[in-house]
Amino acid sequence: MTTRGALRELLGLREFRAMWIGSTASTAGDQLAAVALSLLVYERTQSAAWTALTWSLTLFPPLISGPLLGWVADRFPRRTVMVTTAWLQAVLMAVMAIPGMPLWAMIVLLVVVLAISSPYLAAQEASLPHVLPPQRYDDGVALFGTSVDIAQMAGLAAAGFLVTHTSPGVALGINAATFVLLAILVQTSVEHRPAADPLGRKKKDDEPRGALTLMVAEPRLRTLLGVRMLAGLAMVPEGLAVPLAASLNAVWAVGLILAIEPAANVLGVALLFRLVRDPAKRERLIGPLAILSLAPLILFALDPNLTWTIVLLVIAGIGGAYHTPARSAWMRLLPDQYRGRAYGIGRAALRSSQGGGMALAGVVAHSIGSVTATIAGAGGIGLLLATHATFAWRRARGRSGTKAVAI
């Protein structure tokens, strides 16, 4: 993650500290709410299909709201966007926690809560380059990313115990309280800054007409987005966790298989930032680490036992640490007035690749009748794409004629 000195410096920054604490708390609360609502749906319907559908709804709204609402973070002051959306989420979650609330109403409210999270996240991400000093930007992004992984694991681990010993409404109420905390922290600690791209601002003749145009036209931005979308192949073992565990005669290991990726990713980021202090050197490792995140999956063709399965997934998860320097490099390259919209589009693309990759892997595994062969195939395809992306990233970084867009 970060060195002890860097951590102290980051937590000494009032704006960053407030955003980090609020975001981590609300992330954990979101996991509580997701599990609580799923259990509540199952309790009332006794239907596994409705329960699975409810859980899947947590994935889809950002795919639409990200590209559609990311502009809000550019057109209005970002602190205002964060505070407003956090209060709206708090109110909607509090309504969901009312005893006796109809299931259909709770599901509709959940979709709205998830949809309006997109402008909040876009405003937060676009604010970090202003909140953090340039020499600590990568460390701040790393701390945010690893904290989210840890908060998700902690929230999921606590959700079952909390809901079992209290009620789903309590978990939903706790999540509402985390949004209140988030809104207060941002309002009282984050500096007000004017909108990056206020309504009515005219584009210059040499300026791209849209965020998507910029992302496609600029080689570094295009390559970074492409290499991050390889996560859709790297996450195939997670999508096949249940049949994979069953094929190993270890159904009890499903939770372990699902937990390996975020846990190994935290370890990988910690090692990367401890061993490689120079951000430029970390950027050069984006390609090789992307290859490492996929190459071990090819060895599933050998039908490894549970021990070797864990070893291969841990190695691949450590390689997934490349997402942190790729994320910070991508945001650093974007002009400020495009950051909100670009983040919304990029997040939707990443989520689509993850969900689409896992869904397609399920279809392939069912068709060919082999989970391990499917994982190995994803690894082989991913290795080819990651190798191509590695050379493309090297060319894009070294191209002297590329117009600089970094602030």
The whole-number pLDDT of residue 402 equals: 39
Start-to-end Cα distance in the chain? 25
Q: How confident is the model at residue 206 (pLDDT cuts 50, 70, 90)?
A: very low
The whole-number pLDDT of residue 4 equals: 67
Question: Phi-psi region for residue 304, left (φ > 0), alpha (ψ -120 to 50) or beta?
Answer: beta
pLDDT exceeds 80 at position 404 = no
The whole-number pLDDT of residue 42 equals: 77
Residue 46 burial (10 A CB sphere; 0-12, 13-18, 19+)? exposed
For the chain, what is the radius of gyration of the CA atoms? 21
pLDDT exceeds 70 at position 56 = no
The whole-number pLDDT of residue 405 equals: 43
The whole-number pLDDT of residue 148 equals: 84
Which tens digit of pLDDT belongs to each residue from 292-350? 999 999 999 999 999 999 999 999 999 999 999 999 999 999 999 899 999 999 988 88
Q: What is the mean pLDDT of residues 384-401?
A: 85
338-269-229-385 Cα dihedral, nearest 10 degrees: 130
Report the chain's mean pLDDT, rounded to a whole number: 87
The Cα–Cα gap between 375 and 70 comes to: 34
The Cα–Cα gap between 392 and 269 comes to: 23
Spacing of C-alpha 362 from chain mean position:
22
Q: What six digits make up the tokens of 164?
A: 């079992």
The whole-number pLDDT of residue 209 equals: 61
Q: How confident is the model at residue 272 (pLDDT cuts 50, 70, 90)?
A: very high
pLDDT exceeds 90 at position 376 = yes
Closest to 114 (Cα-Cα) out of 27, 180, 197, 194: 27
pLDDT exceeds 70 at position 255 = yes
Which tens digit of pLDDT belongs to each residue from 99-131? 888 888 988 898 899 899 999 999 999 999 999
Domains of the chain: 1-198 (1.20.1250.20), 208-398 (1.20.1250.20)
The whole-number pLDDT of residue 189 equals: 95
Instruction: Report yes or no: 263 and 321 within 8 Å, Cβ to Cβ.
Output: no
The whole-number pLDDT of residue 215 equals: 87
Give percent above pLDDT 90 in the chain: 49
The whole-number pLDDT of residue 187 equals: 96
Which tens digit of pLDDT belongs to each residue from 87-102? 999 999 999 999 888 8
pLDDT exceeds 80 at position 2 = no
The whole-number pLDDT of residue 207 equals: 52
Three-class DSSP labels, 282-295: HHHCHHHHHHHCCH
Per-residue b/e over 88-109, b at no fewer than 16 CB within 10 Å? bbbebbbebbeeeeeeeebbeb
pTM for the model stands at 0.84
The whole-number pLDDT of residue 400 equals: 42
Which tens digit of pLDDT belongs to each residue from 16-44? 999 999 999 998 888 888 878 877 887 78
Question: DSSP letters along 231-280, please?
Answer: HHHHTHHHHTHHHHHHHTT-GGGHHHHHHHHHHHHHHHHHHHHHH---HH
